[in-house]
Every structure is written in C-alpha cells, then in structure tokens.
Structure 1
Amino acid sequence: MRFLDIGTLAARSGTSAATLRYYEEIGLITSTGRHGLRRQFGSEALVRLSLIGLGKAAGFSLTQISGMIGRDGIPDLPRDSLRAQADALDARVRDLTALARTLRHAADCSAPSHLECPTFRRLLRVVLRRGHRTRHAAPTPR
C-alpha cells in the first residue's frame, strides 16, 4: 500500500489540510499514522474523498455521507435516498431553469417599465401566490 502525507493528499484531492483533519476527526477518513508530525493516509483515502465530494455535490450532509461509507470503506449507498435526492435535484433544475427564463424575459422585455409588461406582472402575481415557498423558484414566462 502506498501512503500519502497530508500535504500530498490535500494537493491531489483539492481538499485543504484543515478539512482533511476535520474529516478525520468526524471519522470520514482515517490516517494510518504519522511520519514526523505529518499525518499519513493510505491511497484509499483518495477514493473516500471522491465519494465525499460526490455526496456533497449531490446535496447530502456529512452525516448522511458518513452513513453511506461503511467502516470498511466500501460504499453502502441507499438507493431510495439516491433516487429521492436525484428527484430533488431535478426539481431544483426545473426551478432554476424557470428563474433563468424569467430573468431573460425581464432583461429583454421591450415595455418602457417592467411593471408595464403584462407578462412580468403575471410573473409577480404567481410568485406572490406561491408565498416564496421556494427561494430560487420562478414561473416560466408565457
């Protein structure tokens, strides 16, 4: 097995040494020992860090990610949770796409004032009716 010191692991993973120490503290990764004052990690730590990065990018908390990585380092990914998170991401993509369309409409609208644009006013009413349920959602302009 090849060992990486904390600086090398940080450089290869794009994760700061402080974050690596925190991940070790909460049990997401484990050092194999020290060489002088520098923590040493097995090369499998890169795989774990990739899994952690994927989980974070997908919106999972570190606690949830911890539950998805078994003590032996082998991923134990709960398929139902993955599907639910994928559905939530799909909904977010739809909301952000609608928001982008709304912003484009507002930017390109030829009305003298946005408040004179019937489409923009309709969008404002829809947002008001929603009661700001979703921070980033906006309706699609018609």
Structure 2
Amino acid sequence: MPDTESSLLSIGELSARTGVPASALRYYDELGLVPPAARVAGRRQYAASAVKDVGLIVLFREIGFSLAEIGQFLAGEGTSRHELIEHKLAELTEQQHRLEVARTALEHGRRCPAREHTQCPRFWSIIEARQRGLSLEESHARAH
C-alpha cells in the first residue's frame, strides 16, 4: 500500500515544478481553482495531478482567460466549456480588430506630413468624428 502522504507535493514543490510562485498557488486555492489534497500541520499538500491543473491555468491565462473564466471552465461540463471557448474566440477576434484599427491610425501618424500631429487637419477630423459617435475605424476611413 503506497504512502499517500509521501506522494503529495508541498506548495514549494508544486511551485518548483510549475514555475508559479507559492503566493499565486495560495490564491488559486482561495479561488477554489487548485485546492490542496490535504493539510499536514496546517501546510498545503497537493496531489501530483495539481501540476497539470496549474499548467492548464497558466496556459489559459496566457491565451487571455481571466481566473473567473478559468474557474467556470474547470467547474463546467462539455457544453459550457465549449461556450466559454467560443465566447473567448469572439472576444479575441474583436480585440484583434481593434488592434488592427489602432495600428492603421498609428501608421498614418507616422507618415503624416504635418510636422506636429496636432496640427494635422485629418487628425482633428478623426477626433471630431469620434465625438459624434463614429467608431475609430469609421472616423479614420472618413478622414481619408
């Protein structure tokens, strides 16, 4: 019969294996994302599977999920997980679009013949169009 206590990882060992600071692991525990399997003398002890759980959290953080969204993903089932992924994809698509519009506006600023950008009539026409409620993309398109 294996000694379960010796197969558990301390928070320091889990931190070393995942590269995630112990303070973050304690926070993940508070949020219910990676609860310890046991407490020995008040110290958190984690199952070996916690390494994969933390790896999932790190990956999902890197691709833009909030900790709340990760909690929903972990607690969810197939359909709700699929919906979370679809929602995140739509969100990332919108962010990408906004970045492309911002890049276009900045590239115009870089090429603008006006010595001072605030002296450029197109610059002010974009601002005025935004104040009238047009999107940045619409404002920029009308200025050109």
TM-score between the two structures when normalised by the length of structure 1: 0.71
* Contact 1:58-1:85 at 8 Å conserved across structures: no
Three-state SS of the structure 2 residue aligned to 1:102 is helix
Decide whether aligned partners of structure 1 residues 120 and 48 sit closer, same or farther in structure 2, where only a CA change above 3 A counts. Answer: same
Q: How does 1:21-40 map to 2 (within 5 A)?
A: 21-34=26-39, 38-40=43-45
Decide whether aligned partners of structure 1 residues 130 and 53 sit closer, same or farther in structure 2, where only a CA change above 3 A counts. Answer: farther
TM-superposition CA deviations, 1:40-99 (whole Å, max 9, x none): 2122112211222333344444333223214xxx97552122212211111111101211
Cα distance in structure 2, aligned partners of 1:14 and 1:90: 30
Decide whether aligned partners of structure 1 residues 65 and 103 sit closer, same or farther in structure 2, where only a CA change above 3 A counts. Answer: same
1:52 to 46, 49, 57: 57
Superposition RMSD in Å: 3.0
Decide whether aligned partners of structure 1 residues 53 and 129 sit closer, same or farther in structure 2, where only a CA change above 3 A counts. Answer: farther
**How many residue pairs align between the two structures?**
134
Three-state SS of the structure 2 residue aligned to 1:30 is coil
Cα distance in structure 2, aligned partners of 1:127 and 1:58: 31
Q: Which residue of 1 aligns with 2:9?
A: 4
| Identical positions, percent | 29
Decide whether aligned partners of structure 1 residues 18 and 102 sit closer, same or farther in structure 2, where only a CA change above 3 A counts. Answer: same
2:25 to 20, 44, 53: 20
Instruction: Name the structure where helix makes up a greater proportion of residues.
Output: 2
- In structure 2, stretches of 5+ residues that fail to align are none
Cα distance in structure 1, aligned partners of 2:90 and 2:52: 26
Cα distance in structure 2, aligned partners of 1:64 and 1:115: 41
Residue 39 (structure 1) shift:
2.7
- In structure 1, stretches of 5+ residues that fail to align are 132-136
Decide whether aligned partners of structure 1 residues 52 and 41 sit closer, same or farther in structure 2, where only a CA change above 3 A counts. Answer: same
Decide whether aligned partners of structure 1 residues 104 and 29 sit closer, same or farther in structure 2, where only a CA change above 3 A counts. Answer: same
With a CA cutoff of 8 Å and minimum separation of 6, indicate the structure with the bigger relative contact order.
Answer: 1
Cα distance in structure 2, aligned partners of 1:13 and 1:3: 15
Cα distance in structure 1, aligned partners of 2:130 and 2:16: 45
* Contact 1:96-1:138 at 8 Å conserved across structures: no
* Contact 1:31-1:42 at 8 Å conserved across structures: yes
Q: How does 1:1-142 map to 2 (within 5 A)?
A: 2-34=7-39, 38-70=43-75, 76=78, 78-130=81-133, 138-139=136-137, 142=144
